[in-house]
Amino acid sequence: MTDTSTKRIIAVVGCFLTSLGCGTLYVYSAYAPQLAEQLNLTTTESSLIGEMGTLGIALLGILSGFIVDRTQPQVPIALGAFFIFGGYYTIYYCYVNLIRNIPLLCIATSLAGFGSALSFMASIKASALNFPKSRGTATAFPLSAFGLCAFLFSLLSNLFFHGNTAGFLRLMAIMTSSMCLLGSLLVRVHENPQAIESLEEYSNSRESNESAISGYASFDQIKRNGSFVIRTNLLPASRKPSVFRSASSAMLSSLKTKKSFPNNNASGIMAPNFCPQYEESTPLVSSGIGSIDHQNPGCNAKMKPTKLYDAESRPLVLSHDLATFEVAGFQLLKTKEFWLLFSIIGITAGAGQMYIYCVGFCIKALITFNYPEMTSADMQHYQTFHVSLISICSFSGRFISGILSDVAVKKYSVQRMWLPFVSSALALVGFIFVLFVDQIDELWAASMLVGLAYGVLFGCYPTIVGEFFGSTINFSQNWATVSSSPVITAYLSTLMFGKIYDSNINSGLDDKKANVCYLGKLCYIKAFKIGIAVIIATMLLILYVIYRHYLFIKNELEEEKEHQRALEVDT
């Protein structure tokens, strides 16, 4: 093993450790009922506080993505440690001193979420840049660690802080920030020329237009390396299925104006052999004008003219200017693919987060209905068990999904989008289980399925975003933008859960305690019925995306055959 390989492995270990300290927002259900009881919060108020953590991860995650894309990874990781500590220590301080300040608690969870997003995104990008040819597998480690975090802290809560919520909150404040600080010392991007250029020469690459080369890549190379959004527009208009004709034309029009290349032929361009080597993370950009490789004259010498093609029918330009290969910013918002991916992760993750953040109240309702004499400490034991179960299943789903996404594409040519479909199916079954669970001992199956579904979704989705829009310079910002979708749906779903739960509080037979529902599963069952309908709609949306991709691949293969026949006729 070379010295560089060892350093990259150490960096992945650092990414794993960093991410292990970033997923504590999903531990919220383990202490939310105790926090609500201590500060006399309603279920709606408690759900809102938990949801503000998602706001920090998702909405403020766009800002964190911007920071991550423009600095070395250790900087945002260290900043994240600071914000995580500040957020959790504030919650601990309010709990101990009985400070019932809803805005302050919301700000605290938002800060913890923002810090988590900073450290987590930096670890994902560092892993992807260190292993650009196996992004799915490399990013599986920090992604799975993020899911495992809740299990780690739930286990510590059960072993050392049984019934001691204040001590547990203090532990999270100190331990999570310490893990991120240690990770910042280990995480580096090592000797990957493309990655180094992406991070250190970003501004120069935007201005440079001297290093473009033109040529025809094989369709196999396009399929392996080209982003889906841009590959769609490489097909002639007559070849595109109707579902693609309105997609991302504005984006490509803008990209074509970014560079000016010498026109080699007024009616077409020469088709040389494809010479340059490039990484999996570099998508291909279409252009109607050709040029030569000014930095690789040896490559130009190998070019053999084969046939003049109409520049409008088969345009293709590969450039060393990585910034022009990325679909980002306002151009990202102009593509239909963005809004499809945005909606899918938003609805699926929103439903999952409703369960994750509110399962503590489901447990409380079932226990109060069936075992009214159970103590708060024993109730917290069940809560931490379910948080641990969700965490382990999320960890497994993230790890398996990241690896499977690589295997599915490279070995079996299966679309990665089937994994989000599997995720939605698992969540659907889990929600159906909730409808029939009457006893606390039966709820484990729903927690297992929802945790696995959540892990599968987030294990493959960053790689899907990289495939669609590029994964080098603007990956973190693009991923943060797409993953900000759950902040809307999760807020609405948890708010809906809280309203439904609170509406049943005064309907019980025994009303001795405030903010307690005594109806068992009837306290929340309506929320999960709505969730089932929403998940089914999402599954249909995913099938539509898969169908779009299928039509594109079918027409791309036909274009490839036509291209090969043209070359054979010419020779």
DSSP 302-355: T------EETTTS--EEES-GGGG---HHHHHT-HHHHHHHHHHHHHHHHHHHH
Quick one: average pLDDT of 81-108? 92
Separation CA 112–CA 97 (nearest Å): 20
Predicted pLDDT at 232: 54
Predicted pLDDT at 236: 52
Q: Are 494 and 353 in contact (CB under 8 A)?
A: yes
Q: Are 452 and 397 in contact (CB under 8 A)?
A: yes
Reported as a single tens digit per residue, the pLDDT across 278-322 is: 344 433 333 333 333 434 444 444 433 333 333 333 333 333 333
Judge whether residue 406 has pLDDT over 90: no
Joined tokens for residue 149: 């975090």
Q: Are 29 and 386 in contact (CB under 8 A)?
A: yes
Judge whether residue 265 has pLDDT over 70: no
* β-bridge mates for residue 319, sequence order: 212
Element (H, E) at 13: helix 3-20
Predicted pLDDT at 7: 82
Joined tokens for residue 468: 């669609």
Quick one: average pLDDT of 169-180? 91
Query: Where do the DSSP E strands lie in 192-238?
Result: 212-214
97 CB-near residues (< 8 Å, 6+ apart)? none
Reported as a single tens digit per residue, the pLDDT across 328-382 is: 677 788 888 889 999 999 999 889 988 988 888 899 889 988 888 887 777 878 8
pLDDT band at residue 529 under the 50/70/90 scheme = very high
- CA quadruple 128, 133, 135, 137: dihedral sign: negative
Mean pLDDT of the residues in the chain: 73
Judge whether residue 251 has pLDDT over 80: no
Joined tokens for residue 210: 């001297």
Interhelix angle 135-160/28-39, rounded to 10 degrees, is 40
Predicted pLDDT at 5: 76
Radius of gyration from C-alpha coordinates of the chain: 26
Quick one: average pLDDT of 74-100? 92
Comparing C-alpha atoms, which of 337, 247, 244, 324 is closest to residue 286? 324
Separation CA 511–CA 501 (nearest Å): 15
User: Does the model's pTM come out above 0.85?
Assistant: no
Separation CA 451–CA 510 (nearest Å): 33
pLDDT band at residue 47 under the 50/70/90 scheme = confident
162 CB-near residues (< 8 Å, 6+ apart)? 377, 380, 381
Predicted pLDDT at 444: 92
297 versus 149: the higher-pLDDT residue is 149
**Strand, coil or helix: 40:** coil
pLDDT band at residue 196 under the 50/70/90 scheme = very low
Predicted pLDDT at 88: 93
Separation CA 482–CA 480 (nearest Å): 6
pLDDT band at residue 449 under the 50/70/90 scheme = very high
* Cα-based angle 505, 509, 514 (whole degrees, multiple of 5): 40
Of 301-315, 346-360, 403-417, 451-465, minimum mean pLDDT range: 301-315
444 versus 53: the higher-pLDDT residue is 444
Quick one: average pLDDT of 485-502? 86
Judge whether residue 254 has pLDDT over 90: no
Separation CA 522–CA 500 (nearest Å): 10
**Which span out of 227-231, 255-259, 374-378, 544-548 was modeled with the highest average pLDDT?**
544-548
Q: Does domain 3-194+329-553 have CATH number 2.120.10.30?
A: no
Angstrom CA distances, 477 to 103, 145, 280, 430, stand at 28, 21, 19, 32
* β-bridge mates for residue 318, sequence order: 213
Determine the longest span between alpha carbons in the chain, in angstroms. Answer: 89
Predicted pLDDT at 61: 67
Reported as a single tens digit per residue, the pLDDT across 126-142 is: 887 787 766 667 777 88
Judge whether residue 209 has pLDDT over 50: no
Tell me the domain boundaries of the chain.
3-194+329-553, 209-320
Predicted pLDDT at 318: 33
Comparing C-alpha atoms, which of 469, 557, 416 is closest to residue 226? 469
111 versus 70: the higher-pLDDT residue is 111
Q: What's the number of CA atoms in the CB half-sphere (13 Å) around residue 168?
A: 25
Alpha helices in 187-218 (DSSP H): 193-200, 202-207
Joined tokens for residue 184: 């910042």
Q: Are 91 and 104 in contact (CB under 8 A)?
A: no
Predicted pLDDT at 537: 94
Predicted pLDDT at 503: 86
Separation CA 231–CA 559 (nearest Å): 12
> How far does Cα 116 stand from its chain's mean position?
13
Reported as a single tens digit per residue, the pLDDT across 57-73 is: 766 767 777 788 788 88
pLDDT band at residue 239 under the 50/70/90 scheme = low
Comparing C-alpha atoms, which of 528, 504, 502 is closest to residue 354? 528
Judge whether residue 260 has pLDDT over 70: no
